[in-house]
Amino acid sequence: MAEELNPMAKTLGESLRQSGVSRRGFLKFCSATASMMALPPTMVSAVADSLEKAKRPSVIWLSFQECTGCTESLTRSHSPTVENLIFDYVSLDYHHTLQVASGNAAEAAREAAMHDNEGNYLVVVDGSIPLGNPGFSTIAGISNLQMLEETVAGAAAVVAVGSCAAFGGLPHAKPNPTGAVSVSEIVKDKPVVNVSGCPPIPTVITGVLAHFLTFGSLPELDSLGRPMVFFGKSIHDRCYRRPFYDKGLFAETFDDEGARKGWCLFRLGCKGPMTYNACATTKWNQGASWPVEAGHGCLGCSEPDFWDTGGFYNALSIPDSDVIRNAAYVAGAGVALGAAAGALNRRKQSKAASEHETVTIDDLDKRS
């Protein structure tokens, strides 16, 4: 009875069995997780062992300047799958959108979770934090900055979900009216994992949580704090349209022959070359498709400042200006200046010719 009242006491294996997940289903999930995290097959049993015995970690989910798209992505896209069950069996003690409690009761739940799991709970953040004015975004009268600092103080680690939490995202886009910053700009003394994307791929967040449950640590991260296993390769390098790029076959518009034949979308502004994410391999909606497969270039949503990369439909390396017009003006100016310089030189030349004195050997003899 006491066990039922305290969900923390139940292991993940017990919880899953109680929900009717078979051993086969559980092991299937473990194999998928291991391969997703690029672990060798021999690690599957270790993953299963650890997950079986893992206690449900307390998770506090803080939502700041965000659109709830990340939560939508995580709760809906893969539902119902074993990954989702894993997500369910994390003790999600505080989450605006999903929790039943509201007002003081909700805040009390957060405080209780922090108190009961001091030093062991995970903080998941979606949304950026406004530093311009604390009043720009508050929850229960507490500013985002204050709530983040307070909550993170006793956390084991922080997972910044979505590009807003990871890099500032849309609120951080120019001119950044709220002075929005990312989680890692505030949290310096705790490990922070950035699971960027607008929204991020659901499997990536469950993968990070599974890694934490399995190894008790966070996965290897890239230079932007993102898990290497998911963000180690660019969209461009993993894109199935890449052979067309290498052959120079590009779609010019969204409905031309090239587009119908599935050619590369670089000219239509695809940001695949600068974007690191797992979309090309993991795909979306249970592996149904992903933006490039659907015929639209990558927006680069998992990269910092992706809103400010000079337009979603402008190719990455192509100059913005009208080069032919500029070149024509500039060449015109060059011709004028060149003609002037030429005229000066000619004048100098003819002056030298007219001032040329004929000298005889006798003259030279006289001078010396």
Partner 1 sequence: MSTPVDFLLWVRGPGFDIALVVFLIGVVIRLLEVLILGRKPDFAEPRGAELGAGLRTLVTRTLPEQGSFRRSPFTVVGGYIWHIGFFISLFLFIPHIELINATIGLSWPGIASNLVDAVAAVTIVTLVAMLFSRMSHPVKRYLSGPEDYLTWVVTILPMITGYLAYHRMIDPYPLALGLHILSVEILMVVFPFTKLMHAFTFFIARWYNGAMAGRRGVQS
Choice from 326, 347, 350, 351 touching partner 1 (CB under 8 A): 326
Q: Report in angstroms how near the CB of residue 319 gets to partner 1 at its nearest.
A: 4
Burial of 224 (C-beta count, 10 Å sphere; 0-12/13-18/19+): middle
By the rule CB under 8 A, 257 interacts with partner 1:
no
By the rule CB under 8 A, 140 interacts with partner 1:
no
Of the candidate spans 17-25, 57-65, 153-161, 342-350, the one that interacts with partner 1 by CB under 8 A turns out to be 342-350
By the rule CB under 8 A, 240 interacts with partner 1:
no
**Which one-letter DSSP state was computed for residue 218?**
P
Residue 253 tokens, joined:
């518009």
Parallel, antiparallel, or unpaired for β 129-130 and 91-94?
unpaired
Q: Report in angstroms how near the CB of residue 245 gets to partner 1 at its nearest.
A: 7
By the rule CB under 8 A, 89 interacts with partner 1:
no
Burial of 155 (C-beta count, 10 Å sphere; 0-12/13-18/19+): buried
Give backbone dihedrals phi and psi of 313, rounded to 5 degrees, phi first.
-110, 10
Do the beta carbons of residue 303 and residue 198 sit within 8 Å?
Answer: no
Q: 270-309 mask for partner 1 (x: CB under 8 A)?
A: ---xx----------------------------xxxx-xx
Sign of CA dihedral 106, 109, 110, 111: positive
- CA angle (364 as vertex; 363, 366 as ends), nearest 5: 65
Q: Report in angstroms how near the CB of residue 323 gets to partner 1 at its nearest.
A: 4
Nearest CA among 155, 84, 102, 81 for reference residue 125: 155
Q: Which amino acid is at 358?
A: T
Of the candidate spans 46-54, 103-111, 143-151, 327-335, the one that interacts with partner 1 by CB under 8 A turns out to be 327-335
By the rule CB under 8 A, 319 interacts with partner 1:
yes
Query: Terminus-to-terminus CA distance in the chain, angstroms?
Result: 125
Q: Report in angstroms how near the CB of residue 152 gets to partner 1 at its nearest.
A: 25
Q: Which helix (H) or strand (E) holds 356?
A: none
By the rule CB under 8 A, 246 interacts with partner 1:
yes
Do the beta carbons of residue 196 and residue 226 sit within 8 Å?
Answer: yes
By the rule CB under 8 A, 333 interacts with partner 1:
yes
By the rule CB under 8 A, 98 interacts with partner 1:
no
By the rule CB under 8 A, 316 interacts with partner 1:
yes
Q: Report in angstroms how near the CB of residue 167 gets to partner 1 at its nearest.
A: 9
By the rule CB under 8 A, 177 interacts with partner 1:
no
Q: Report in angstroms how near the CB of residue 11 gets to partner 1 at its nearest.
A: 40
Give the strand order in the sheet containing 91-94: 91-94, 58-63, 121-126, 155-161, 192-195
Q: Which residues bind partner 1 (CB under 8 A)?
A: 222-224, 234, 245-248, 250, 266-267, 273-274, 303-306, 308-310, 315-321, 323-324, 326-327, 330-331, 333-335, 337-339, 341-343, 345-346, 349
